[in-house]
Amino acid sequence: MSQKTRLLIAVAIILVIAGSLLGVEAFLRQKQTIEDAEGELTLSPGSIPIYVNGKLAYGFNPEDLADLGKISFVDAEEGKTQEGWALRDILRLYIAPENLEAETRITVSSSSRDRSVQLTWAEVDDPENWVLFDLSGRGTLKLVSTLEGFDTRDDWVQDTDKIEITTP
Amino acid sequence: MKERYFSTFELILMALFSALIVVAKISLKLPLQLPGHSGIFWMALIIVAAGVVPKRGAASLVGVTSGLIAAFLGMGDLGALNTFLSYTMLGVGTELSLWLLQNPENIGAAVLTGIIGHISKLVVKWSLGTLTGAPVGFLALGLARSILGYVIFGALGGLLGSLTLAALRKAGFFAYLAEKR
C-alpha cells in the first residue's frame, strides 16, 4: 500500500469518527424534549429547564446568550480561565425582580452526575463570587464560582440540566 | 534467556515521556478558550515518544502510564476513570494510527496521527458522558466546535512532534540511542 493511500485512509477515518459523533449527537438532540405537567410548555432540545417553586416555568435557550456578555476568572486550583455567562444575568432574563430576594434559593443540578448546589440569590448576585456557566469541552454547561465552599472542581456542577428557584 | 520486548532503557524513556505528558498538562497553559488546546503539547510528546521507541505498543504504554499518573494525581474534572481512559485512548489511538501510517517523522503521517490520537480522547469523553446520561450539548454546534478544536490542536501537536523528531535525528540523538539499546 502506498503512503498516499494510507494518508487517504487516515483522512477517511477522521471524517467517519467526526461524522459519527455529530450524527449520534443530532439524533440524541432530536429525542430530547422536556414538557411541563400540562403539556403547555415544551423546551427546545439542549435547553436548560428553569423550575420556579416546583413548576416548570422557562427554558434557558442558547439564543438567549446573544444578549449576555461573558465574564471570566482564573481558578486558584489549576490556574485555568473559567469563562462564560453569569448565572445572575441568566436568571434576570426570566425571573421578575420581585421574585429574586436575597433569601431566594437557587438550586443548580446535574442528574447524570448526581450533583447539585444550592445558593442564595445574594450569593449569586454578588459579582465577587463569579458564579457563572462555563461551556465544557462536550458543549454542556458547568456551573463554577470562586465562592467559598464552591470553588473547586469537586464542588462544581458539570453537565447542568436543571435550575430550580424557590422563593421564601 | 528470552529477550524482553522493551529494554529497560526503553521502559525508562517511556516512563519519562508519560511523566512529561502529565507535567505538560499541569504546567503549560495556553491562554486560549478553545476545547482541546492542550493537544499541542500532548500529541507532540506522544509522537516523539513513539518515534524514540519505534516499537508496537510504545504509544499505548505511554498512554496507559500517563493515564495512571494523572488519575492518581486527581487530574481532570470528570473523575479518575474518565481521566485514565482519556489518556489511555489517546495512546491507543496514536498507536493504531501509526500502525496504519507507520513513520511519525513523515509530516503528513504525524499530523494525521496527531488528529486521530487526539480525537480518540474526545470520543472517550463524549461516550462516557453519553453513557452516564449527560445532557446533549447546550449549543447546537458545541460538539462541532469541540471536534474542530481537537482536530486543529491535534494536527499542530503532530506537526510539532514530527519537527522535534527531525531535529533529534539531525542532532544525532538516534545514533546515541542505538548505542544505548
pLDDT for the residue B48: 94
Rounded to an integer, what distance in angstroms lies between the CA atom of residue B100 and that of residue B123? 19
Rounded to an integer, what distance in angstroms lies between the CA atom of residue A110 and that of residue A143? 10
User: What tens digit of pLDDT does each residue of A6-50 get?
Assistant: 999 999 999 999 999 989 888 887 776 665 555 666 677 677 888
User: Is the CB of B73 inside 8 Å of chain A's CB atoms?
Assistant: no
pLDDT for the residue A35: 58
Residue B130: its chain A contacts at CB < 8 A?
A: 24, 28
Rounded to an integer, what distance in angstroms lies between the CA atom of residue B138 and that of residue A140? 5
Torsion, Cα B130 B136 B140 B144, to 10 degrees, reads: -20
pLDDT for the residue B128: 85
Rounded to an integer, what distance in angstroms lies between the CA atom of residue B113 and that of residue B20? 19
Domains and CATH numbers, chain B: 8-25+35-180 (1.10.1760)
Answer whether A77's CB lies under 8 Å from A126's CB.
no
Q: What is the pLDDT along chain B (181 residues), one digit of tens a residue?
A: 677 888 888 899 999 999 999 998 888 777 666 778 888 998 999 999 999 998 999 999 999 999 999 999 888 777 788 899 999 999 999 999 999 998 888 999 999 999 999 999 999 988 888 887 777 666 666 788 889 999 999 999 999 999 999 999 988 888 887 776 6
Taking an 8 Å cut-off on Cβ atoms, the answer to whether B140 and A48 are in contact is no
Rounded to an integer, what distance in angstroms lies between the CA atom of residue A122 and that of residue A76? 23
The chain A residues in contact with chain B (CB within 8 A) are 3, 6-7, 9-11, 13-14, 17-18, 21-22, 24-25, 28-29, 32, 45-46, 48, 62, 72, 78-81, 83, 110-113, 135-142, 153, 156, 158-161
Answer whether A112's CB lies under 8 Å from A160's CB.
no
In the structure grid, which three cell numbers stand for residue A154, read together? 469537586
CA distance to partner chain B, nearest, from residue A80 (Å) = 8
pLDDT for the residue B179: 77
* 3-class secondary-structure state, position A124: helix
Rounded to an integer, what distance in angstroms lies between the CA atom of residue B143 and that of residue A27? 13
Answer whether B147's CB lies under 8 Å from B97's CB.
no
Determine the angle formed by the axes of helices B107-131 and B39-52, rounding to 10 degrees: 120
User: What tens digit of pLDDT does each residue of A105-162 get?
Assistant: 999 998 888 888 999 999 999 999 999 998 877 778 889 999 888 888 888 998 888 8
pLDDT for the residue B30: 72
Residue B128: its chain A contacts at CB < 8 A?
A: none
Residue B139: its chain A contacts at CB < 8 A?
A: 46, 62, 135, 139
| Minimum CA–CA partner of A155 in chain B | B77
Q: Name the pTM for this structure.
A: 0.79
Between chain A and chain B, the number of residue pairs with CB atoms below 8 A apart is 125
Taking an 8 Å cut-off on Cβ atoms, the answer to whether A140 and B137 are in contact is yes
pLDDT for the residue A106: 93
pLDDT for the residue A39: 60
- Could you give the angle at the alpha carbon of B28 between the alpha carbons of B57 and B62, nearest 5°? 10
Nearest to A7 by CA among B115, B55, B43: B115
